[in-house]
Structure 1
């Protein structure tokens, strides 16, 4: 019988992202040769354990990797998969959430709601925050918009007193045009922005809409109002990290230094549940589409809800949303299909029914045309099997 490999897991359990990474690792181990795992509960940012310097195991999955640890790992010549997203250029095989894609997804979410003024609230000195800002600004630029930036250090009240921080965020928000869409670099930052809005008597989401990242359900629901959030695929990051480590321990060379895992989507809560469209009739039409697209509606049914001709409705949709009413219906349906493919095992016939398609074959044709993937390919990719 082959000896079980000894693997150390250095992943924080204090935040939902770390716990989901561990779920992905567990999911991999349940379907592959198990490891003998050394693991201890950790806080985010905790110092490396004292035992690491003399540890003689077979491999490590490490989230708090920094330049010093990267040098230690190279000296020890032990296979390591790096899950750090604070530092770039450490020279170790890494699996990361695609932070640029996360920023783009948040921008698309706010743009779809009609916002044309934006801001990004981040943490300085963290690569993941900077990349989310980069993706956010790139998507805004493609839409002919731009966003204002606010950053401060991550370090808690001792590094940056909260009363001062709250006042600075509030002053920043007050100086921006409204209605305003804000991407907070994570859910914790989103809570900071919402608290500052309360302090400055800014209405959320009517004046300021806020979206975070990580979809930490407890934190998002504790916010007032509940915080919308981009959902990274941390489970798949963990799964891919375990798969890569197994290959490294078997003597394989990584095919690429860094593998990026795209986000799953957006969980919409009250903090962005608004349409920032200065046209009551278009807003009513968009709301009707988003509530009923998956019932299989058509443009004639949309026109029955607003006193506009088809030509005028088309013109106003293109002005505010950059697409036609029919394209908006298709966009809502495709988002529903993606959600069901990623999070359920439903058959395509049932998914087509729930997304408002009469025939699953037509749904598959539209899905491939719009995404470049078949429904099966998308489902496998979302589950980490491609």
Structure 2
């Protein structure tokens, strides 16, 4: 059996590209395709001399126009991966193309914000350039959806962040957020942009999600670890895209002609976290208290500290919680701790002891009692069940 030499032109330091490559690897693991894969040592995309490469095929991210231009001169099979376009004329001619469905990504994010009870929406995008046509397509999708509902599409691009422009960028985001009526749901075109907006909200004292609910796109675990409030995110079908692209080029390697084939892959779902879990709260003291609890529940705060932060008596705060939420302040603190513990167990990356400490449940014994009382199972049983459903092994 001939072993084919396939180059993967992606920047695997980006979560989307990384997931596409994971899908390609999954295809190879489940089929009899025999490939040698060629990537840069640091997993970055470099084009110099690629048209002279003596391989058998290339799978590449065509979101960058320079990639499409360089590979237009290639005489070996090429499969393109990238974002979908509302105008079919924008797809590269003569190249099989596997796309993430930009319209469906925005539609799913917006529907989630509608489902949690929000009625006002905005989008946080990036400055337009040839390298981020995917973001412009997501803006187009947002405008279209808002127009269908006869609503104005509020879109803010801000500026690119760098050492020199950091303060200016953050202040621009804060000014934009303060200018909009609340409560508000914001769709960020990527998790990276969503993270910036979460930081701007924290600096400005804007409660998330009580005043501004935020959802990103990419489901990037690194971004989620870098935010104080866990980020909700739409999961792109990037692994399915990788599998589809690999299947296409395998067919081409065996003589099948697929010059104008297009496959548009829908999102895989939403990973819902605290940043978008909006709940309509009318009482400002309860809103401020709930936001404070969200930030510090896992650090062991008590009801008295919450009341002190808000500037009211404990009895007054308890009455407000009973009226608005139908539960006590302690119940809400415990709920956030329990959700943090569940998320830690579901990640499969930490020991049960570490999850107990990190969630503010202080010890394995205490977490065991809370899980048995609230969920009817032990932490270990909960973790084993969740990871078993994913086909993962539990850590020790």
TM-score (structure 2 length as normaliser): 0.64
Equivalences for 1:322-361 in 2 at 5 Å?
none
Cα deviation, 1:42-69, whole Å, max 9, x if unaligned, reads 466x542x35242111100112664444
1:100 to 95, 100, 103: 103
By how many angstroms is 1:186 displaced?
0.6
Contact 1:187 1:214 (C-alpha < 8 Å) held by counterparts = yes
Q: Distance in 2 between matches of 1:22 and 1:68?
A: 20
1:166 to 164, 170, 188: 170
Q: Distance in 2 between matches of 1:167 and 1:67?
A: 32
The aligned residue for residue 37 of structure 1 is 37
Q: Distance in 2 between matches of 1:266 and 1:272?
A: 11
SS at match of 1:76: coil
Change over 3 Å in CA distance of 1:43–1:182 after alignment to 2: farther
The aligned residue for residue 313 of structure 1 is none
Cα deviation, 1:140-186, whole Å, max 9, x if unaligned, reads 444454431001455x416x712111111111111111001000111
Equivalences for 1:176-195 in 2 at 5 Å?
176-195=180-199
Q: Distance in 2 between matches of 1:66 and 1:34?
A: 28
Cα deviation, 1:92-145, whole Å, max 9, x if unaligned, reads 321111111000000000011111111100112222112222333333444454
The aligned residue for residue 162 of structure 2 is 157
1:228 to 219, 232, 237: 232
Equivalences for 1:213-292 in 2 at 5 Å?
213-254=217-258, 256-276=260-280
The aligned residue for residue 117 of structure 2 is 114
- Calculate the aligned-residue CA RMSD, in Å: 2.4
Contact 2:50 2:70 (C-alpha < 8 Å) held by counterparts = no
Change over 3 Å in CA distance of 1:138–1:200 after alignment to 2: same
Cα deviation, 1:230-275, whole Å, max 9, x if unaligned, reads 0111110100010111122222222744321000111111111123
Contact 1:103 1:131 (C-alpha < 8 Å) held by counterparts = no
Cα deviation, 1:261-309, whole Å, max 9, x if unaligned, reads 0001111111111234879xxxxxxxxxxxxxxxxxxxxxxxxxxxxxx
The aligned residue for residue 16 of structure 1 is 15
Q: Distance in 1 between matches of 2:133 and 2:280?
A: 31
Give 4+ residue runs of structure 1 displaced > 6 Å after superposition.
none
2:52 to 48, 54, 57: 54
Change over 3 Å in CA distance of 1:198–1:239 after alignment to 2: same
By how many angstroms is 1:229 displaced?
0.4
Contact 2:11 2:18 (C-alpha < 8 Å) held by counterparts = yes
Q: Indicate whether 1:63 and 2:61 are aligned.
A: yes
SS at match of 2:73: helix
The aligned residue for residue 326 of structure 1 is none
Q: Distance in 2 between matches of 1:200 and 1:106?
A: 24
Contact 1:11 1:63 (C-alpha < 8 Å) held by counterparts = yes
Comparing 96-105 and 77-86, the one that deviates more: 77-86
The aligned residue for residue 129 of structure 1 is 135
Change over 3 Å in CA distance of 1:133–1:18 after alignment to 2: same
Contact 1:115 1:277 (C-alpha < 8 Å) held by counterparts = no
Cα deviation, 1:185-209, whole Å, max 9, x if unaligned, reads 1110001111111122111100000
Change over 3 Å in CA distance of 1:272–1:109 after alignment to 2: same
Q: Indicate whether 1:147 and 2:153 are aligned.
A: yes
Q: Distance in 1 between matches of 2:184 and 2:59?
A: 40
Contact 2:40 2:46 (C-alpha < 8 Å) held by counterparts = no
Gaps of 5+ in 1: 280-386
Q: Distance in 2 between matches of 1:141 and 1:275?
A: 26
SS at match of 2:245: helix
SS at match of 2:59: strand
TM-score (structure 1 length as normaliser): 0.65
Q: Distance in 2 between matches of 1:133 and 1:233?
A: 19
Q: Distance in 2 between matches of 1:34 and 1:276?
A: 55
SS at match of 2:34: coil
Change over 3 Å in CA distance of 1:161–1:64 after alignment to 2: farther
